[in-house]
Structure 1
């Protein structure tokens, strides 16, 4: 079994993320209005700060309330910078948004990625199977990427929509990357895409180790808070993730970060905090393509922990005894739970044939909060359809077992633990979330060829809210 904790290189490019408030729920998009330009003075100031300190990559979300025509193919093939050219092949480019983004990248010598709408013409067809909308145009949720000289180098259309009535799904998933001289290749995807195989897993399978992820993520505890799953994906996929969320307290949207497999720089506002943008800066290493990583494939080793517990099948202790189970809903899914009522224990819980094991020890024996370990295997069907296998330790909302699985943000109880699941997928994303929405990095993440995935953690700094192994069974999504 090989630990997924790479050695951190000493140097790497700097990356930064900036989140802004945006207008939501707009299905009728017309001519630009004055409000469109509000973010740009702030963004230009932020870009200037980054340029003076010689930083490299920018990701941002900002207010755009109209559709624009991103002429990606012509711009790519003719190396045209929108900052220097407003008339392109007899087409008057009236997009001041694209022009300003291009100029921001050029004037500050930055690579820049932004999320915005895109309007593309669609030839009407008489075929009943045509994907062309009746009005003859596609409207896409889009990422655009600009080179440091202002050249538009990439355009990605979101594939997995989430209640986006004004947007269309592109006819085929787009696998979009762009190259940089300082960190190699970056991949683009958007929001709900992160939960699905295409295009996200395809990017990783093709060796892309740096991913850029604008999102409008609605936080949902205890398993899918924004920063929680952003870090989980970075750890599970072994990639660097630049994630930038919008800020909308009414829709519970907040949380951005810069994540590597061994570090996290993030900001998660809470209700009542000032609604202003936050600049995040981090030095991130350049991750090598998988084929040149040291270590080769995964292996199995026997590991004993400092807390006195050890890995399954490598211990002299007998299998854990059976504990009473109960059913409770978590994230709209029916989990099987076991309460953690002892000062320490070795607990196994199964949902059907899928089983999770928790070895734990409370740091304080007089803790007054209720916790449970749960397992779920099945198809999630609320606000999306996707297949899961999940092991999770959660703080319950109250002192009754029926409250296990409810949303909780604060906790006082701390434990050393080892959480393990026997998964039928290699796509497992681990997370540890503590009180007041603070992330902690697992001491170790290990994957074995037989499907066992384990996270170990001790000396928790904050009260434990959730520890989770979130497995995605992509191959079962359509069953």
Structure 2
């Protein structure tokens, strides 16, 4: 069964305003897919819309896809302004809205058992068009762990500073780091890499590099949900992606998103994110790459499994039919059977 329910014809919805030109409209999980989101902001190799209105019922999925985390990351990675309006529903983990530009973020992230009423966000920002926006600013022992339903390869950050690498097949993540505040007896961190189809209820292709705080002091806890952190570091996180669509994020304690000091992208697919002087504990630093071009490729493993199940059922039913036919033939050849008593009465 396919993971996508796509319309027969792509519609790109925009509207004009007298104060800021044209806005594009996207809804909820549209932001995770090429169509309509990337198609809306990119056309014939140049970005034509730089402001997106985004209404959503976003369920937070830490440690990589919290609402304010990924919406901020998309704004930064795509160099667009995103006006994100999320539902407030604590039961379903819907807690964050914001106004994100490539240079700033104004957001609200509700806390557990906080008030359910809405919050009005207002900010002042230059209207930035793509053509004149300035550019945004040693291997360890690896282990596997599940994060956001996917199987990541991890290495631990065990030293006061270091240069680490972790790979998932040919996709490799590099991290240079130096702790500025860290208590090893209280918090454990890991660098993770994943490349492939996201294994959630909706399947799509990603390449991800992430520095995450583990939920406990055991390696098996890396990749689990974390809401708080105290450790601070200076870091440079980089990788070479097979996609142009890479969304960077830095998520800190108390669900606060931060602007990287420097973000570099090269034509060869290399993306590097640098941050220094963190003012709060680091929960996640992430480069989230979306390989839209692979979303709709057939899944060989799934198709193979379906074929095997079909063949097994076919063989089973064929066996039942053969047994039934064999029984009918034997019964017909033998004819009716009589007991000796029945024969004497018949005579």
Shorter-chain TM-score range:
0.7 to 0.9
Structure with greater helix share of residues = 2
Alpha-carbon deviation of 1:467? 0.2
CA distance in 1, matches of 2:174, 2:82: 29
2-structure distance, mates of 1:276, 1:211: 24
Map of 1:112 onto structure 2: none
State the Cα distance separating 1:236 from its structure 2 match: 0.5
Equivalent-residue separation in structure 2 for 1:341 and 1:448 (angstroms):
30
2:260 to 434, 439, 442: 442
* Equivalent residue in structure 2 for 1:180, among 6, 17, 25: 17
Seen in structure 2, the aligned counterparts of structure 1 residues 253 and 294 have a Cα distance that, compared at 3 Å, is: closer
* Partner Cα distance (2:117, 2:294) in 1: 41
Give runs of ≥4 in structure 1 deviating > 4 Å: none
State the 1:438 CA deviation.
Answer: 1.0
Alpha carbons 2:82, 2:101 under 8 Å: kept? yes
Whole-angstrom CA distance in 1 between matches of 2:59 and 2:215: 20
Q: Kindly report which structure 2 residues correspond to 1:325-474, keeping only aligned pairs within 5 A, or say none.
A: 325-364=142-181, 366-367=183-184, 368-474=186-292
1:231 aligned onto 2:72: yes
Structure 1 distance, partners of 2:162, 2:99, is 35
Please list, as runs of the form range in 1=range in 2, the aligned pairs for 1:103-114 lying within 5 A after superposition: none
The structure number with the bigger radius of gyration is 2
Give the total of aligned pairs. 288
Deviation digits for residues 102-155 of structure 1, max 9, x if unmatched? xxxxxxxxxxxxxxxxxxxxxxxxxxxxxxxxxxxxxxxxxxxxxxxxxxxxxx
Which of 112, 131, 138 pairs up with 1:271?
112
Would you say the 8 A contact 2:173–2:237 is kept in 1? yes
| 1:422 Cα deviation from its structure 2 partner | 0.9
Q: TM-score, normalised by structure 2?
A: 0.80
Most deviating of 269-278 and 352-361: 269-278
Query: Where does residue 249 of structure 1 map in the other structure?
Result: 90
Report SS of the residue matched to 2:225. Answer: coil
Matches of 1:442 and 1:345, distance apart in 2: 20
Aligned-partner SS, 1:282? coil
Contact 2:26 2:53 survives alignment (8 Å)? yes
Deviation at 1:412, TM superposition (A): 0.6
CA distance in 1, matches of 2:50, 2:181: 40
Q: 1:200-253: per-residue Cα shift (whole Å, max 9, x none)?
A: 001110311000000000001000000001100000000000000001111111
Q: 1:252 to 1:286 in 2, by over 3 A?
A: same
Match of 1:262 in 2: 103
Whether the 8 Å CA contact 2:183–2:231 is kept in 1: the answer is: no
Mark the CA change 1:344 to 1:176 in structure 2 (over 3 Å): closer, same or farther: same
| SS of residue matched to 1:232 | helix
In structure 2, distance between residues paired with 1:226 and 1:294: 25
- Which residue in 1 is equivalent to 2:26? 189
CA-based RMSD: 1.5
Q: Which runs of no fewer than 5 residues in structure 2 stay unpaired?
A: 298-347
Q: In structure 2, which of residues 40, 48, 71 is the aligned counterpart of residue 203 of structure 1? A: 40
Q: Deviations over 1:245-300 (max 9, x none)?
A: 00111111110000000100000001111111100001121112x3x3267xx9xx
User: What is the rounded CA distance, in whole Å, between the counterparts of 1:328 and 1:238 in structure 2?
Assistant: 32
Distance 1:253 1:365, change over 3 A: closer
Measure how far apart 1:365 and its partner are.
5.0
Which residue in 2 is equivalent to 1:82? none
Q: For each residue in 1:370-402, what CA deviation from the matched residue of structure 2 results, as whole angstroms up to 9, or x when unmatched?
A: 000000000013121110000000000100000
Which structure 1 residue ranges, 5 or more long, are not aligned?
1-159, 162-168, 304-319
